[in-house]
Amino acid sequence: MPSDSLVHREGQSPVKFSGDLTPQQQAGIVKFADVILRGPGDFAKAVGSCLELTEVSISPRPEDGKLHAAVVFEIDVLEGVSLQSLAATAVVVFAIQHLSGLVQDMLNANRHVHGGCSMFMIDICSAIALTALSIAMNKRTHLVSQAINTIFHAPATVGARLKIVNKTVAYGTRTVSARTEIWDITNRRLVVSGIHNQMQPSPPKL
Residue 191: the pLDDT is 96
- pLDDT of 59 > 90? The answer is yes
Residue 2: the pLDDT is 47
Residue 104: the pLDDT is 64
Domain ranges of the chain: 4-199
Residue 173: the pLDDT is 85
- pLDDT-derived band at 6, boundaries 50, 70, 90: low
- pLDDT of 31 > 50? The answer is yes
CATH of 4-199 given 3.40.630.10, 3.10.129.10, 1.20.140.10, 1.20.120.550: 3.10.129.10
Burial class (CB in 10 A: 0-12, 13-18, 19+), 2: exposed
- Mean pLDDT computed over 169-178: 92
Q: How far is Cα 206 from Cα 199, in angstroms, rounded to an integer?
A: 21
| pLDDT top residue among 20 and 103 | 20
Which among 23, 172, 46 is positioned nearest to 120, based on CA atoms?
Answer: 46
| pLDDT top residue among 13 and 128 | 128
Three-state secondary structure call for residue 174: coil
First to last CA, the chain: 49
- pLDDT-derived band at 205, boundaries 50, 70, 90: confident
Q: How far is Cα 169 from Cα 40, in angstroms, rounded to an integer?
A: 28
- pLDDT of 178 > 90? The answer is yes
Q: Chain-wide mean pLDDT for the chain?
A: 83
Phi/psi at 94 (5° precision): -75, -15
Residue 97: the pLDDT is 31
- pLDDT-derived band at 18, boundaries 50, 70, 90: very high
Single pTM value for the model: 0.83
- Mean pLDDT computed over 25-43: 89
Condensed to tens digits (0 to 9), the pLDDT of residues 129-150 reads 999 999 999 987 788 999 999 9
| Angle between helix 23-38 and 115-136 (nearest 10) | 160
Which among 49, 174, 186 is positioned nearest to 106, based on CA atoms?
Answer: 49
Q: How far is Cα 60 from Cα 70, in angstroms, rounded to an integer?
A: 11
The answer to whether residues 194 and 122 touch, using CB atoms and an 8 Å cutoff, is yes
- Mean pLDDT computed over 116-137: 94
- pLDDT of 83 > 80? The answer is no
- Mean pLDDT computed over 155-175: 92
